[in-house]
Amino acid sequence: MSALNEIRAERLRKLRLLEERGMRPYPNRSARTHEIGQVLADFDGLESSGSALTIDGRVRAIRTHGGSAFLDIEDGTGRIQAFLKKDELGEEAFSLFQDAVDIGDFVEVAGRAMRTKRGEESVEASGWRMLAKTLLPIPDEWYGLADEDERFRKRYLDMLLNKEVAENARKRSVFWNSFRSHLLAKGFIEVETPVLENTTGGAEARPFVTHHNALDIDVYLRISAGELWQKKLLVGGLPKTFEIGRIFRNEGMSREHLQDYTQLEFYQAYSDYEEGKRMIVDLYRHVARETFGTLEFSIGEHRVDLGKEWETYDFCEAIRREYGLDPFIATLDEVKKALKDAGIEKPGEEMSVERGVDLLWKRVRKGISGPGFLVGVPVYLEPLAKKSEKDERVVERFQIILAGSEMGKGFSELNDPRDQRERFLAQQALRDAGDEEAQMADMDFVEALEYGMPPAFGFGCSERLFSFLADKDVREAQLFPLMKPRDV
């Protein structure tokens, strides 16, 4: 029998002991009167009044001294010491506590607030009972789970042992709710759009495919948070909408990329990307202050100050400067040579000018700390943004550049159905040629545009922003990242 199995067998014995002594090991209800955080916040008042109280929580430490025992109890709002005395509890209750309670168990303690001789805030117990008997031990609090794979598989233990993980969960909530509250205060309404789609749109990514049994059709998990759907809402007369939702992309994994993650997208009628820039600077500063309490961040080798003046970077100028290549007239052979010289990847016959130029840019951006806006992107790289009135070779699109990566994208939304149709067909040609990340031609959306969509600004960003500001791998920043089963 393994050591872990021996521990489990011993704890099962203690569980049966509880039952034999008439104490339910998993009662249906607790009698808690105070959260531990409340007790700590009003300790002086509770102590002076001698008020009876009942606290619940997980046992994190036990220390026994003859006829007394001290245990640390934690309930997620705080941790406090409970003091149990045989003389106060009685021989039977104190003996059962000693014989049946382990670190990790959930217990309930009734008593009063008191300070020990050393001045430690405690609860002097007049009674106790089991709330949930644990059968497996929690790893040592000092050493935790050393293996990253094990930490991700057993995130609940990682959270118990590493307070930073629990704090990360709290900050994620603040992060998304700060977006939500900011937009709601500006008159936006929150919407929900379909996760299952007949065609994917709003981004360039390889989708997940599944089968809808009731309709007997194949459908796709969405790759954007309702971009085309929200623009249909603009057609329908809703001028300000947003969605915070899960999206899915069947692509590779890296420090910056996941297959399922949360994304925000919002759309504002009668606006454009110039107005959007000012809006996003204000929004990002608000979210950073609310979530992290600062505008200055260390992200890998980059130092980023969201409070300073944001810079502007021109896509085509950056490509010309770095590779001597003009994105507007470059041939496929020239792009392949630039890729090879840069050591980005071994060019293949499936490479396109569009994909190659995008890869070249991704290499350039790694050295840019930001914050700033990338502008001047060629039309062939963005099928959903309006062409610039100053230069129709580029679109009115910006990307937020932070710490060498893209942290959001916004544009003056394309609302000319003729132009949209042509660009969808160009993207479909790329798909037909083997580019699985090119966008599908959504002619239902083109038809919606023919009914008229107002000029609008649209923007989207994902939880990558959160992970970067926290200076964490995106998997580390998620609560439960997807893991490959051990037996596969």
Domain ranges of the chain: 3-132, 159-310+370-477
Q: For the chain, what is the radius of gyration of the CA atoms?
A: 29
The pLDDT, as a whole number, for residue 488 is 55
Q: Counting beta carbons within 10 angstroms of the beta carbon of residue 45, is it exposed (0 to 12), middle (13 to 18) or buried (19 or more)?
A: exposed
Please list the pLDDT of the chain residue by residue as tens digits (488 residues): 688 899 999 999 999 999 999 999 999 999 999 999 999 999 999 999 999 999 999 999 999 988 999 999 999 999 999 999 999 999 999 999 999 999 999 999 999 999 988 899 999 999 999 999 999 998 875 455 667 788 888 888 888 888 888 899 999 999 999 999 999 999 999 999 999 998 887 667 788 999 999 999 999 999 888 899 999 999 999 999 999 999 999 987 777 888 899 999 999 999 999 999 999 999 999 999 999 999 999 999 999 999 999 999 999 999 999 999 999 999 988 989 888 888 887 555 578 888 899 999 999 999 999 999 999 999 988 888 899 999 999 999 999 999 999 999 999 999 999 989 998 898 888 888 877 777 778 899 999 999 999 999 999 999 999 999 999 988 889 888 888 887 75
User: Would you call 462 helix, strand, or coil by DSSP?
Assistant: strand
Quickly count helices (H) and strands (E) in the chain.
Answer: 17, 18
User: Would you call 232 helix, strand, or coil by DSSP?
Assistant: helix
Q: Which amino acid, one-letter code, is at 242? A: F
Helix axes 273-292, 163-185, angle to 10 degrees: 140
What six digits make up the tokens of 216?
Answer: 């007997």
Tens of pLDDT, residues 127-152: 999 999 999 998 875 455 667 788 88
The pLDDT, as a whole number, for residue 346 is 59
| CA–CA dist 388, 397 (Å, integer) | 9
HSE, CB side, 13 Å, CA atoms: give it for residue 226.
Answer: 23
121-132 vs 106-115, strand pairing mode: antiparallel
The pLDDT, as a whole number, for residue 349 is 54
HSE, CB side, 13 Å, CA atoms: give it for residue 102.
Answer: 19
| CA–CA dist 453, 236 (Å, integer) | 8
The pLDDT, as a whole number, for residue 221 is 92
Q: Counting beta carbons within 10 angstroms of the beta carbon of residue 238, is it exposed (0 to 12), middle (13 to 18) or buried (19 or more)?
A: middle
| Rama region for 144: left / alpha / beta (φ>0; ψ in -120 to 50; rest) | left
Q: Cis omega (within 30 of 0) on the bond before 378?
A: no
Report the predicted TM-score, pTM, of the whole model to 2 decimal places.
0.87
| Planar angle of CA 360, 204, 357, nearest 5 degrees | 15
Q: Which fold has domain 3-132?
A: OB fold (Dihydrolipoamide Acetyltransferase, E2P) (2.40.50)
The pLDDT, as a whole number, for residue 466 is 96
Q: Find the distance separating the first CA and the last CA of the chain, reported in whole Å.
A: 26
Any idea which residue has 């109890």 for tokens? Answer: 73
The pLDDT, as a whole number, for residue 365 is 92
Hey, how many other C-beta atoms are within 10 angstroms of the C-beta on 147? 10
Tens of pLDDT, residues 299-343: 999 999 999 999 999 999 999 999 999 999 999 889 898 888 888
The pLDDT, as a whole number, for residue 1 is 62
Tens of pLDDT, residues 445-486: 999 999 999 999 999 999 999 999 999 988 889 888 888 887
> Which helix (H) or strand (E) covers residue 360, if one does?
helix 353-365
Correct CATH for 159-310+370-477 of 3.40.640.10, 3.30.930.10, 3.30.980.10, 3.40.50.1000: 3.30.930.10
What six digits make up the tokens of 428?
Answer: 């479909």
Q: Examine domains 3-132 and 159-310+370-477 and report if their fold is the same.
A: no
**DSSP symbol at 90:** -
